[in-house]
Chain A
Amino acid sequence: MPRARLYAPRVLWRPALALMAIVGLTSPTNAQRDRTSLPPEVYKPLKEALQKPYYELFDEAPGLEFSASQIAAMRKFLEDAQKGCVGKYQRRTQELEKQLRSEQASLKANTARIDDSQRKQRHCTIQNLRALEAQARVLAEHAIPVAYENRKAKLELIEKWPEELKRIKAEIAAGTHHQRRWGDVEDIGFRELVPGQERDIKDGQEAVREMKMAGLMPPEIENEAVKKYVVSLAQRVGKYSDLRVPLNVTVLNTKEINAFALPGGFLFVQRGLLEAVENESQLAGVLAHEIAHVTGRHGHKLMKKATVASVIYQAAQVAALILTGGAATIGTYYALQYGFYGLGLVLSLDMLGVSREFELEADQLGVQYAWNAGFDPNGFIKFFDKMATQEGYVNGLSWFRTHPPFYQRMVQSKREILFLPAKGGLVENSPEFDQMKAELKKVTAKAEEEEKDRPSLLAPVQGCPAPEKIEYKSGDPIEVLCPEPGDAKSSGR
């Protein structure tokens, strides 16, 4: 009957949809399918390799034998896994957002009908939902992409480093490595990188003055021993660099893991950096990188190239970041206002189109200066490695998306280290560094004590249970959040 024939699809659409949903839910995801495409004897060692530090991979990668198709399969797997994991926490964020809005709407609708204890309970619920939503958002937008970008960068290293190493060795054998840009390392201090460093002093002084006047200058560390050590280390590195201006070092009592230089030799080192470095060569590497921004006159070039509008636009963006309490705090603000160059860990100046080239140049020159001053230049790479692996999440912003590709920075730095002439007695650590660390502990303890007493408007509503936490700590493997098929570990809520 025609009527029955017309009716049949209406009857069937519900079961058909249900079937489609079941198929969708039970069929393997792309990531699962790709994982199965790699045999366990390849997948397992490759996965283990990706969890190793970068500097270990530089040594081990030439001995690893993975085919191009295996690497490609792993890359596809990582991309899909990232997409899946980010999607999971994006959905979680949306769900929590929805719950939050509905809870707020219900509170508003019933505000005249509820008593004080019911109101308090609803406030507690809203507070908890806000905390969970913020955590899920940070995971989706920062922590998960950072973790997977790290793995992809390491995969790239495994894939490309063996060939790159061969090329480097061939260049060294042929002696052509001397022809690279700034290859005249024996003449550091006597060569002219960019003329006119001394012309930047006035700009730097002006920037420091403005920062102080605007109330944007953090307090200095008051411990003389710490200050003396940092100043003398920076002066030592500066002495063996291409610096033509006096180095003016300030140690700031802020927990940011950063250091930055203003044009004209004004170097600022933050307490968080001193806490994060593990030995003298790491700190010397970072200071050398900053000094390289001064010798390369990067701040001056930045101000020249950037239009006023673009600087103001970025400053506004940074201000917004500052408010989030992320790592892009006040230091990043200076960057845009005054053309400073920091470690480039947290915020990009890519929009200005000048950052990438300058960061790579500062990496190269920094490695040279640390080496020339007698420090193990590998310290810089090891510190970067630590920052990427452990601090990516804490910082809340991915440096991968905002800076020259991490692989490129690591490889360029390693390449420069291999090109440097062999030198004995390179310092990795010193008793002075350990003494500074001991003194720093006192400074940190005092700062933490003060921080504890710091008043806050963000205190949780009194009488509510502590907000729930999505269990993920900085440095944890990403599988804690997004377990792979067959992984027994539970995911975050």
Chain B
Amino acid sequence: MSRARRCKIQWALTALLLWFSTTAWAQTLGQRSLYFTVEQGDKLIGGLTEKNFRLYEDGQPVPFKLAEPESPILVTLLVEYSQVSGLYLNDVEIAVRQFMEAAPDGNWYSLATFSQELQIHVDFTKMKGEILAAFGGLGQPFWGEVNTYDAVYDTLEKLDLVPGRKVLILIGSGLNTLSAHTLTDVQKKMEATNVTVFAIGAGTLLRGQYDAYLGASARMELVQAEAFLNMLAKKSGGQAFFPRFETAYQDIAKGVIATLQFQYRILYESHVRPDNKFHRLKLEAFQIIDDKRRDFSVRVREGWRWY
């Protein structure tokens, strides 16, 4: 091969590499909006400023800006509604009712239920009453399946297409029967979708009453169900609740609303690339008082995945 020809090939390869690096590899998630709450014990902490935070992506410090949270919030209630949940339907009903009664006006609310598949009953509306009216008119559940993984996956996929500040209130047991999607699918989807999940476990009261009679496999399933709800909450920077008393639902609803009111928003340029890998986030919140640093706990999503 002549020297000129070798040179041409080298130039071509360099050009190709340059093109590749300026397109695919240089692609990053771009500007991200990160919602989180700061807590000390059971107390939500407000009033912190930019200098009270440090953000790290994959261990590297990232510059950021504290921004005004977007308003209105887009809240989707995803409710388990199957023949199986008939055993703890009372929990589900109370959870929906209490949440909608505590929910402030002005936000967008939508309602979806699932058993065999996801069903959207009310698309986003600002008339909160439509949610309760629709829920009240659901009738008897028809299917016995509880395809929670599919329902969560599909809802996240739908919410991903909607711009804005999104919150998913998942009311259900966390049990899963015949979903097409696996736990890993849902986990990855959660990591890739900017939605805060608040999971309200239904059936915990019933479980408490019958715990002694449960076999090992049934107990294992319930533990898995709980773990699933916890996973969603943890991955998204939300919270999971497992109320053991009817009266707890009201406190949970008020707690979720308060959490949303105390949420901070950070805007930053993410360097996450479309490599289908999980990129961890770390957010520190602190206050310097008398030259002493006091750290707070932060409820924030664990990281991002882009695929």
Q: Are B180 and A108 in contact (CB under 8 A)?
A: yes
Task: Given the known inter-chain contacts A316-B136, A319-B134, A456-B123, please indicate yes or no for A111 contacting B180, CB distance below 8 A.
Answer: yes
Name the distance in Å between A491's Cβ and chain B's nearest Cβ: 31
Q: Are A458 and B137 in contact (CB under 8 A)?
A: no
Contact of B127 among A108, A111, A216, A320 (CB under 8 A): A216
Q: Are A214 and B162 in contact (CB under 8 A)?
A: no
| Chain B residues in 8 Å Cβ range of A457 | 76, 110, 112, 120, 123-124, 155, 158-159, 162
Chain A 103-147: CB-based contact to B (< 8 A → 1; otherwise 0): 000011001000000000000000000000000000000000000
| Chain A residues in 8 Å Cβ range of B74 | 455
Tell me, in angstroms, the Cα distance from A219 to B125 when the chains sit together.
Answer: 12
Tell me, in angstroms, the Cα distance from A80 to B161 when the chains sit together.
Answer: 47
Task: Given the known inter-chain contacts A108-B180, A320-B137, please indicate yes or no for A330 contacting B130, CB distance below 8 A.
Answer: yes
| Contacting residues of chain A (300-319) with chain B, CB-CB under 8 angstroms | 315-319
Chain B 136-178: CB-based contact to A (< 8 A → 1; otherwise 0): 1101000000000000000100110111100000000000000
Q: Are A323 and B127 in contact (CB under 8 A)?
A: no
Tell me, in angstroms, the Cα distance from A160 to B124 when the chains sit together.
Answer: 49
| Chain A residues in 8 Å Cβ range of B161 | 459, 462
| Chain A residues in 8 Å Cβ range of B133 | 216, 315, 319, 322, 330, 333
| Chain B residues in 8 Å Cβ range of A462 | 161
Q: Are B162 and A319 in contact (CB under 8 A)?
A: no
Tell me, in angstroms, the Cα distance from A458 to B112 when the chains sit together.
Answer: 11
Q: Are B180 and A107 in contact (CB under 8 A)?
A: yes
Q: Which one of A216, A317, A323 has the greatest number of beta carbons of chain B within 10 Å?
A: A323
| Chain B residues in 8 Å Cβ range of A456 | 123-124, 162
Closest to B161 in A: A459
Q: Is B121 part of the binding interface, using a Cβ–Cβ cutoff of 8 Å?
A: yes
| Chain B residues in 8 Å Cβ range of A322 | 122, 130, 133-134, 137
Tell me, in angstroms, the Cα distance from A111 to B182 when the chains sit together.
Answer: 11
Q: Is B278 part of the binding interface, using a Cβ–Cβ cutoff of 8 Å?
A: no
Tell me, in angstroms, the Cα distance from A457 to B131 when the chains sit together.
Answer: 14
| Contacting residues of chain A (302-354) with chain B, CB-CB under 8 angstroms | 315-320, 322-323, 325, 330, 333
Helix, strand, loop or mixed for chain B's interface? mixed
Q: Are B137 and A316 in contact (CB under 8 A)?
A: yes
Q: Is B225 part of the binding interface, using a Cβ–Cβ cutoff of 8 Å?
A: no
| Chain B residues in 8 Å Cβ range of A317 | 137
Q: Are A215 and B180 in contact (CB under 8 A)?
A: no
| Chain B residues in 8 Å Cβ range of A216 | 127, 129-130, 133
Q: Which one of B122, B133, B134 has the greatest number of beta carbons of chain A within 10 Å?
A: B133
Q: Is A181 part of the binding interface, using a Cβ–Cβ cutoff of 8 Å?
A: no
| Chain A residues in 8 Å Cβ range of B129 | 211, 214-217, 330
Q: Is B296 part of the binding interface, using a Cβ–Cβ cutoff of 8 Å?
A: no
Q: Give the total of A residues in contact with B, Cβ under 8 Å.
A: 28
Name the distance in Å between B133's Cβ and chain A's nearest Cβ: 5
Q: Are A218 and B123 in contact (CB under 8 A)?
A: no
Task: Given the known inter-chain contacts A108-B180, A316-B139, A323-B137, please indicate yes or no for A458 contacting B123, CB distance below 8 A.
Answer: yes
Name the distance in Å between B85's Cβ and chain A's nearest Cβ: 19
Closest to B74 in A: A455
Task: Given the known inter-chain contacts A218-B127, A459-B161, please indicate yes or no for A323 contacting B122, CB distance below 8 A.
Answer: yes
Q: Are A455 and B136 in contact (CB under 8 A)?
A: no
Contact of B137 among A107, A215, A319 (CB under 8 A): A319
Q: Is A3 part of the binding interface, using a Cβ–Cβ cutoff of 8 Å?
A: no
Name the distance in Å between A329's Cβ and chain B's nearest Cβ: 9
Name the distance in Å between B81's Cβ and chain A's nearest Cβ: 13
| Chain B residues in 8 Å Cβ range of A316 | 136-137, 139
Q: Is B241 part of the binding interface, using a Cβ–Cβ cutoff of 8 Å?
A: no
Name the distance in Å between A326's Cβ and chain B's nearest Cβ: 13
Q: Are A330 and B127 in contact (CB under 8 A)?
A: yes
| Chain A residues in 8 Å Cβ range of B136 | 315-316, 319
Closest to A317 in B: B137
Q: Is A180 part of the binding interface, using a Cβ–Cβ cutoff of 8 Å?
A: no
Q: Is B128 part of the binding interface, using a Cβ–Cβ cutoff of 8 Å?
A: yes
Tell me, in angstroms, the Cα distance from A218 to B137 when the chains sit together.
Answer: 20
| Chain A residues in 8 Å Cβ range of B100 | 215
Tell me, in angstroms, the Cα distance from A458 to B128 when the chains sit together.
Answer: 18
Tell me, in angstroms, the Cα distance from A456 to B161 when the chains sit together.
Answer: 9
Q: Is A454 part of the binding interface, using a Cβ–Cβ cutoff of 8 Å?
A: yes
| Chain A residues in 8 Å Cβ range of B164 | 455
| Chain A residues in 8 Å Cβ range of B159 | 457
| Chain A residues in 8 Å Cβ range of B110 | 457
Tell me, in angstroms, the Cα distance from A217 to B130 when the chains sit together.
Answer: 10
Name the distance in Å between B177's Cβ and chain A's nearest Cβ: 13
Tell me, in angstroms, the Cα distance from A214 to B128 when the chains sit together.
Answer: 7
Name the distance in Å between A125's Cβ and chain B's nearest Cβ: 16
| Chain B residues in 8 Å Cβ range of A214 | 128-129, 132
Tell me, in angstroms, the Cα distance from A319 to B121 when the chains sit together.
Answer: 10
| Chain A residues in 8 Å Cβ range of B137 | 315-320, 322-323
Name the distance in Å between A214's Cβ and chain B's nearest Cβ: 4
Closest to B118 in A: A457
Closest to B133 in A: A319
Closest to B132 in A: A214
Closest to A219 in B: B126
Closest to B157 in A: A461
| Chain B residues in 8 Å Cβ range of A323 | 121-122, 134, 137
Q: Are A459 and B180 in contact (CB under 8 A)?
A: no
Tell me, in angstroms, the Cα distance from A289 to B155 when the chains sit together.
Answer: 45
Task: Given the known inter-chain contacts A457-B112, A458-B123, please indicate yes or no for A215 contacting B134, CB distance below 8 A.
Answer: no
Tell me, in angstroms, the Cα distance from A454 to B123 when the chains sit together.
Answer: 10
| Chain B residues in 8 Å Cβ range of A217 | 127, 129
| Contacting residues of chain A (449-493) with chain B, CB-CB under 8 angstroms | 454-459, 462
Q: Is B108 part of the binding interface, using a Cβ–Cβ cutoff of 8 Å?
A: yes
Task: Given the known inter-chain contacts A214-B132, A322-B134, please indicate yes or no for A455 contacting B162, CB distance below 8 A.
Answer: yes
Tell me, in angstroms, the Cα distance from A71 to B155 when the chains sit together.
Answer: 55
Tell me, in angstroms, the Cα distance from A447 to B59 when the chains sit together.
Answer: 47
Q: Are B162 and A459 in contact (CB under 8 A)?
A: yes
Tell me, in angstroms, the Cα distance from A218 to B74 when the chains sit together.
Answer: 18
Chain B 106-124: CB-based contact to A (< 8 A → 1; otherwise 0): 0010101000000011111
Tell me, in angstroms, the Cα distance from A457 to B110 when the chains sit together.
Answer: 8
| Chain B residues in 8 Å Cβ range of A107 | 180
Q: Which 10 A-B pairs have the closest CB atoms?
A: A319-B137, A215-B128, A216-B129, A215-B129, A111-B180, A214-B129, A316-B137, A455-B162, A455-B124, A319-B133
Not counting A320-B137, A322-B133, A323-B122, a sample of 8 additional A-B residue pairs whose C-beta atoms are within 8 angstroms of each other reads A215-B100, A215-B105, A217-B129, A322-B122, A455-B108, A456-B123, A457-B158, A462-B161
- Interface CB pairs A-B, < 8 A, 26: A214-B132, A215-B105, A216-B130, A216-B133, A217-B129, A218-B127, A315-B137, A316-B137, A316-B139, A317-B137, A319-B133, A322-B133, A322-B134, A323-B134, A323-B137, A330-B127, A330-B130, A330-B133, A455-B108, A455-B164, A457-B123, A457-B124, A457-B158, A458-B120, A458-B123, A459-B162
Which of A's residues lie within 8 Å of B, judged by CB?
107-108, 111, 211, 214-219, 315-320, 322-323, 325, 330, 333, 454-459, 462
